[in-house]
Amino acid sequence: MSTPTAVRVWENHLLRYRKIWGSHLLGAFVQPVLYLVGMGLGVGALVDRSTDSIVLLDGITYFEFLAPALLATTAMMSGGQTSLWEVADGFIWSHRYVAMASTPLRPREIADGLALWHTTRIALAVTAVAGVLALFDETRTWGLLVAIPAAVLTGLAFALPISAWSSTRKNGSSFPAVIRFALIPMFLFGGAFFPIDQLPEWLQPVAYVTPLWHGIELCRGAVIPSVDAGPVAVHVAVLLAYAVVGLLACRATFAKALRP
């Protein structure tokens, strides 16, 4: 029986990941713990004492507000970061994908294999965060199991479009800007640390079109039963659209880069 082509590509990524999985998962575990303790409990103690908080946070504690969102933000950061230097590496430094492309593997199969790998790696990071949330009474619910796939989809909504773009770069000079001017602002203002209706009016539509806000709403709704996540189908559709368009774009840009 033959192994699907995408799985063969995935095996390369897995083999290399086996050498760094410890530090990756430790990072995925420690970061949310820091945010949960520092912001969730520390800042939360201040926020929850304010009389407005009941109105602002729809009657949940700040910890309950923040914790599930970390599933989505971790997915975004994990998916975003592995789609920059690591993807470009396969084309311009190690030529890993160029080497693969001279075997029976086709460019679009290499793109599919990368997508499969992104899914795996994001799922590992998100599961580590879910493990952290399971340590706290407020967030130890079966809803975590629903939030995990929602967060993975959020991660793919970033990873796939960014990968398509990275594969067209001739060097990595613009990569730090993506983190500084796209991922970190979304992390801070995308609805994880405070509700986006606190943003200036003109910025709110921006939040609605970013995948992160939709992912956060889904995760929050899944983990905290009293939260109304709004139109779940719309959230999922937006995330799926980003991921599917991203995958199609990857197939196209990989073909262009690998078949000059």
Q: Where along the sequence are the contacts to another protein (CB under 8 A)?
A: 2-3, 8-9, 11-12, 15-16, 19, 94-96, 98-106, 258-260
The total of other beta-carbon atoms located within 10 Å of residue 221's CB is 21
Least CB distance to another protein at residue 105 (A): 5
Instruction: Determine the distance from the C-alpha atom of residue 173 to the mean position of all C-alpha atoms in its chain, rounded to a whole number.
Output: 22
Residue pair 72/149 in contact by the 8 Å Cβ criterion: no
Closer residue to another protein, CB minimum distance, 100 or 144: 100
Nearer to another protein, 49 or 259 (CB): 259
Contact criterion met (CB below 8 Å) for 201 and 225: no
Angle at 64 between CA 226 and CA 120, to 5 degrees: 100
Tokens of 242: 């980003």
208 — alpha (psi -120 to 50), left (phi > 0) or beta?
alpha
Least Å distance, CB 249 to another protein, is 20
Nearer to another protein, 17 or 194 (CB): 17
| Residue 217 DSSP class | H
- How near is the Cβ of 83 to another protein at its closest, in Å? 17
CB of 94 to another protein, least distance (A): 5
- Spatial distance between the Cα atoms of 46 and 145, rounded to a whole number of angstroms: 30
Nearer residue to another protein within complex by CB, 53 or 82: 82
Which residue's CB is nearer to another protein, number 96 or number 251?
96
What 49-55 contacts at long range (C-beta under 8 Å, 24+ apart), as own/partner pairs, is none
> Minimum distance between the CB of residue 112 and another protein, rounded to whole angstroms?
14
